[in-house]
Amino acid sequence: MLTNGNVLVAGGLSNNGILSSAEMYNPSTGFWTTTGTMSTAREYHTASMLTNGNVLVTGGTADGNTALSSAEMYNPSTGLWTFNGFMNTSRYDHTASILTNGNVLVAGGTLDNSIILSGAEVFG
């Protein structure tokens, strides 16, 4: 949930494949609206609400098998996504936790269908 109470839903899988689109749900009105599109279609990624109100999306997979290392940042004020660098390790189906210093701890996940990751890294 964003600071304005809306809910951001980005990426995922549809009948047409893996998505790069994003939508905003307003629980007050019950309406969905489209917002900016990520540069990379992804599923099994994480989305972390940062202390500045932006949303950091990390990793995921664009083909259902091979992990991504890229990250993107969503700015709710502008509705735009920007590239935000790469993690050291590509991963999907991982966890992401906000640390007290505002960085994001990314841990575990999968590199591909056969390699499970046990490592962690700080991204921010």
pLDDT score, position 124 = 73
Q: How many domains does the chain have?
A: 1
Q: What is the CATH number of the domain that holds 37?
A: 2.120.10.80
In a domain, residue 2? The reply is no
CB atoms within 10 A of CB 41: 19
What is the span of the domain harbouring residue 83?
7-123
pLDDT score, position 113 = 84
Tokens 């575990």, located at residue? 108
In a domain, residue 23? The reply is yes
In a domain, residue 48? The reply is yes
In a domain, residue 84? The reply is yes
In a domain, residue 1? The reply is no
Report the C-alpha gap between 41 and 49 in whole angstroms.
19
In a domain, residue 13? The reply is yes
pLDDT score, position 123 = 83
What does the pLDDT profile of the chain (124 residues) look like in tens digits? 899 999 999 999 999 999 999 999 999 999 999 999 999 999 999 999 999 999 999 999 999 888 999 999 999 999 999 999 999 999 999 999 999 999 999 999 999 888 999 999 998 7
